[in-house]
Structure 1
Amino acid sequence: MSKIVRFHATGGPEVLTLDDVEVREPGQGEIRIRTRALGLNRADAMLRSGHLMELPSGIGWEASGEVDAIGPGVEGFTVGDAVSLIPCFRATDYPIHGELAIAPATGVVKHPDTLSWEEAAALWGQYLTAYGALIETAGLKAGDTLLVPAASSSVGLAAIQIARSVGARPVALTRTSAKRQQLLDAGAEGVIATTEEDVVARVNELTDGKGARVIFDPVGGPALTRLLGAAAPGGTVIVYGALSTEAATVPALELISKSLTIRGYKVFELTTDLERRKVAVDWILDGVAREVLRPVIDTTFPLEDIVEAHRRLESGSQVGKIVVTVPR
């Protein structure tokens, strides 16, 4: 029997339990992994608090660990390999948070031994999201100014690192100035506290009136209108989340006069395309090898404290990824 993170009712972090479950053998095209670390995502909280057709349910997209068993038809892996998981499957089909996890082999990759288990569990979701949006879609390049709302999130920090790696200028947006120094230390060229400063005026000040060529927004809602005001002519706005529950209003005249592009983005469009994903994975691994990309971990919790880990996730006070460690 293995300890598996599940919930028997939807709701807050308190609904999570550690259940003793008999984990099956891997089937065709599957791998079983003995996990060492679990990466938490906002999507985990959305799944846990939403409405499912069937309960109890498992949870989780990201983890690192060792190959425990290999199913029929799987090549390129051996038992004992150090691996981590790319979010490319539904967590309701393959919930991976627990001591043992079954995953499709297409979502399993070998990670560099320069990364700790915790860093490997914090790698793929955030960097693939930022890479797909910024490099593949927006073509971020040297000299561009990039606006990063919710910059203290793991994806926001990955975006800052990726921007710096190609010579772009990342400007971090955060609600208050409490995290200003941490974001500057993380590589932001400027930090704007959105509840304390005029975003458009500060962006114009930082860019000599040119505006931001790329905006990478996980919030949406009314704040999106202000972001469009800070965009450069011909700029691209990538919306990859909806942390705000309010509707966004897009000013048509500004959209037209600036010739702006607004594009919705989800990481699964990249991770489920094997050719595009290979290019992205190689790009990220190269950045890790050159030490220009490195996951930032906010806090680690032991598996038995999974409820507290989710409370930290929902607090909004973290800077970087929340990781849960799994005892051997």
Structure 2
Amino acid sequence: MPRVVVFDEFGGPEVMHVVEEPLTGPAAGEVRVRIEAFAVNPLDAMMRSGASPAPVPLPHARLGVEGTGVVDALGPGVTGLREGAAVILAAVPDAHVRGSYAEYTTLPASRVVARPAGLGTTEAAAVWVAFSTAYGALVEKAGMRPGDHVLVTAASGGVGRAAMQIARQIGAVPVAVTRHAAREDELLAAGAAAVVATDREDVAEAVGRHTGGAGADIVLDLVGGPGRQDLLGAARPGGTLVVAGFLDPRPTPFPAGPPLTIHSYRSFEHTLDAAAVRRMAAFLEAGVRLGALRPAVDDGVFSLGTVAAAHRRLEQGLHGGRKIVVTAS
């Protein structure tokens, strides 16, 4: 029988275990996907530990919001897909039921997209959530345009790296924010036009220098916490702040500073919108074809039986912001 990762209590990586479950067919409007690989997302660790912003019913909860595989079966009424098609999971809002940490999962046909030609299985497992989040926040929400200076926090992470690549593809100018000056060369190689290291310089002063005194047109805050106030000082009056992350658990002060348009963003806002998903998929396919968009993948690839080790690597920060991938075979 197919294997699936579940957990019956909240806790560390050790609460996850592999069980076997009968293979079920897809319902009307659904597809069954044979998972080839999935990426470990910080949301998975939050769900597993009991820190998820949404309730996770126990026991026998599943995990996984990222993954790629092959359509294995079509439910009644499904059109536009065929068995054997290589796909990426575009949205798994009910991961505790349909999570990708498994050899098979079923989900609505509208929640898969074609895997771009040119992406191997490992890269395809790691690409969608980071790039769709960054695209949704910057293009759909903030209306990023060519020439915009875009300040990106947590730039070493998956979404941050994707944001810089997407900005480059649009013709915008990504400015990376990092806590460590030692990461400057890495971030420049990842696509940043300039790097602001908070351990050596003031954010507002540095951004002013990189933008000719104008300030950032768009600030993508993937961190939150008290550091947001420094970001606001780096934005131009009339600019846009997109709040799309919560890596810093400390309280975030109410924005004070120049007048800004402020958006709060969560990826399901667009990944559950069929029209937006089509735009995202087309943008991703074009970027991959042109060589402009590519996920950064961690060197170590894990198997389903070693998924706990993959979670430990994530929590210890050994991945350096690159996506950790697990093969389902």
TM-score normalized by the length of structure 1: 0.94
Q: How is 1:49-88 mapped onto 2 (pairs within 5 angstroms)?
A: 49-50=49-50, 52-88=56-92
Contact kept in structure 2, 1:150 and 1:174, CA below 8 Å: yes
Q: CA deviation at 1:17?
A: 1.3
Q: Spell out, residue by residue over 1:94-128, the C-alpha distance to the aligned partner (whole angstroms, 9 max, x if none).
A: 21211111222111122123110111111211111
Change (3 A) 1:63 1:248: same
Q: How is 1:42-121 mapped onto 2 (pairs within 5 angstroms)?
A: 42-50=42-50, 52-121=56-125
What CA RMSD, in Å, does the superposition of the two structures yield over aligned residues? 1.6
Distance in 1 (CA, whole Å) between partners of 2:280 and 2:292 is 15
Q: AA paired with 1:230?
A: A
Pair 1:39-2:60 in alignment: no
Q: Spell out, residue by residue over 1:36-93, the C-alpha distance to the aligned partner (whole angstroms, 9 max, x if none).
A: 1102211111111116332120000111111122211211222221111102532123
Q: CA deviation at 1:326?
A: 2.3
Distance in 2 (CA, whole Å) between partners of 1:213 and 1:263 is 14
Q: CA deviation at 1:161?
A: 0.2
Q: Which residue of 2 aligns with 1:326?
A: 328
Q: AA paired with 1:259?
A: P
* Corresponding residue SS for 1:62: coil
Q: Which residue of 2 aligns with 1:233?
A: 237
Q: CA deviation at 1:179?
A: 2.4
Pair 1:186-2:187 in alignment: no
Distance in 2 (CA, whole Å) between partners of 1:86 and 1:112 is 13
Q: CA deviation at 1:18?
A: 1.5
In structure 1, list runs of 5 or more residues that go unmatched. Answer: none
Distance in 1 (CA, whole Å) between partners of 2:288 and 2:255 is 40
Distance in 2 (CA, whole Å) between partners of 1:74 and 1:133 is 30
Q: CA deviation at 1:251?
A: 4.5
Q: CA deviation at 1:202?
A: 1.4
Q: Which residue of 1 aligns with 2:175?
A: 171
Percentage of identical aligned residues: 45
Q: Which residue of 2 aligns with 1:313?
A: 314
Distance in 1 (CA, whole Å) between partners of 2:132 and 2:15 is 30
Q: Spell out, residue by residue over 1:138-161, the C-alpha distance to the aligned partner (whole angstroms, 9 max, x if none).
A: 121222111111111111111000
Contact kept in structure 2, 1:158 and 1:293, CA below 8 Å: yes
* Corresponding residue SS for 1:155: helix
* Corresponding residue SS for 1:122: helix
Aligned length: 323
Distance in 2 (CA, whole Å) between partners of 1:92 and 1:286 is 32
Contact kept in structure 2, 1:88 and 1:271, CA below 8 Å: no
* Corresponding residue SS for 1:308: helix
Q: AA paired with 1:307?
A: A
Q: Which residue of 2 aligns with 1:155?
A: 159
In structure 2, list runs of 5 or more residues that go unmatched. Answer: none
Distance in 2 (CA, whole Å) between partners of 1:277 and 1:65 is 18
Q: Which residue of 2 aligns with 1:270?
A: 270
Q: AA paired with 1:238?
A: V
Runs of 4 or more above 3 Å deviation: none
Q: Spell out, residue by residue over 1:204-260, the C-alpha distance to the aligned partner (whole angstroms, 9 max, x if none).
A: 2212221111111111110111110111111111011111222211354x1xxx221
Distance in 2 (CA, whole Å) between partners of 1:209 and 1:259 is 17
Higher mean alpha-carbon deviation, 144-153 vs 22-31, is at 22-31
